[in-house]
Amino acid sequence: MGHLSEEIINKANILLEIYPNKRSALIPLCHLAQGQDGYLTPEAIVEIADLVGVTPAEVRGTASFYDMFHLEPVGKHVVAMCTNIACMLRGADELLEHAQESLDVGIGGTTQDGQFTLEEAECLAGCNNAPCVQVNHRFFGPLDNEGFDRLIKDLRSGKLKDEVPEHGVLNRVDRNYGLKATPDQVQAERDVMESAKKERLAKKSESN
């Protein structure tokens, strides 16, 4: 029994099938592994490398480029607060300051109980609800200090657990099927379409 669960391996096998090149499944597989462990563990990286057919260093090297992958453990809830221009104009800096005080943690830090990791984020495309915050990539906003404290309280009490799954779980809707258009079918169709097109072009040039 490997590190990744059977359920994840099953999902991974479908992903490996739907791309023309297995390597393309690398990032989706990292998301799946992060969904299991909350961050990308060294064990998961080795197994992803095996599945995709590259070295673990390549998986790690690719994952480290992207903000969403955590190579160290993080809190159950990653609170990402946007401070980019649109949110800044709506008081994001003040809100981030309040968040640090209220959670008693610095930017990038995790609370002692392991519940919250606080991050400063770049634009999350929620500018119509500025200042906006994502918790495990679910949107909340616009938030003021009281709204933020209420959100934290609701996350702590588990009131939002359906809306906000534990950190790492990204897409809860599965693709549980492979490609439907088989290569033979595609080839046959292409032949038909191409000869039809040739005919049309021939007719066109005739009528000209």
Partner 1 sequence: MSDIIVNKNLPIVSKRLGIEEAYKLETYLSTGGYEGLKKALQMNPEDVADEVMKASLLGRGGAGFPAGRKWSMLKPARVKYLVINGDESEPATFKDHDLIERDPHQIIEGVVVASYALGVNQAFIFCRGEFALGLERLQAALNEAYDYGAVGADIFGSGFSVDIVVHPGAGAYICGEETSLLQSLEGKRGYPRIKPPYFPAVMGLYNQPTVVNNIETVSNLPWIVLNGGDAFAAMGQDSSAGSRIFALSGQVKRPGNYEVEMGKVTFRNLIFDESYGGGILDDLALKAFIPGGVSAPWFGPEHLDLPLTQEAIANKGSMLGSGSVVVFNESTCPVKAAWRISKFFYRESCGQCTPCREGSGWIEKIMHRIETGNGRMEDIDLVMDVCDNIAPGLSWPPKQTTICVLGPSIPSSIVSAVNMFKQDFIDHIEKGKCTFDK
Question: Does a cis peptide bond (omega within 30 degrees of 0) precede residue 142?
Answer: yes
Based on CB atoms, which residue is closest to partner 1, 7 or 189? Answer: 189
Q: How many angstroms separate the CA atoms of 18 and 5, rounded?
A: 21
Binding to partner 1, residues 90-149 (CB under 8 A): 90, 122-128, 130, 134, 136-139
When binding is defined by CB under 8 A, the residue of 153, 161, 190, 203 that contacts partner 1 is 190
Which residues make beta-bridge pairs with 51? Answer: none
d(CA 41, CA 36): 10
Span of 100-108, 145-153, 154-162, 180-188 interacting with partner 1 by CB under 8 A: 180-188
**Which amino acid belongs to residue 193?**
M
Nearer to partner 1, 8 or 63 (CB): 63
* SS3 of residue 202 by DSSP: helix
In this chain, which of 4, 16, 45, 52 binds partner 1, going by CB under 8 A? 52
User: Which of 33, 45, 78, 86 is close enough to bind partner 1 by CB under 8 A?
Assistant: 86
| Closest to 170 measured CA to CA, from 140, 134, 143 | 134
Q: Closest Cα partner for 41 from 17, 74, 67?
A: 74
202 binds partner 1 (CB under 8 A): no
- Return d(Cα 19, Cα 176) in angstroms, integer: 14
Q: Which position among 7, 97, 104, 174 is part of the footprint of partner 1 (CB under 8 A)?
A: 174
Cβ distance 108 to 79 under 8 Å? no
Task: Tell me: does residue 200 bind partner 1 (CB under 8 A).
Answer: yes
Piece of 5-13, 86-94, 104-112, 153-161 that binds partner 1 (CB under 8 A): 86-94
Measured from the CB atom, the residue of 89 and 104 that comes closer to partner 1 is 89
Q: Which is nearer to partner 1, 68 or 149 (CB)?
A: 68
Among 27, 29, 33, 30, smallest CA distance to 14 is for: 29
With contact defined as beta carbons under 8 Å apart, do 54 and 26 qualify?
Answer: yes
Q: Does 66 contact partner 1 by CB under 8 A?
A: yes
> Given candidates 21, 55, 102, 195, which one binds partner 1 under the rule CB under 8 A?
21
CA distances from 1 to 5, 16, 48, 182 (A): 8, 20, 15, 33
- Which residues contribute to the site for partner 1 (CB under 8 A)? 18-21, 23-28, 30-31, 52, 61-63, 65-69, 83-86, 88-90, 122-128, 130, 134, 136-139, 170-175, 177, 179-182, 185-186, 189-190, 192-193, 196-197, 200
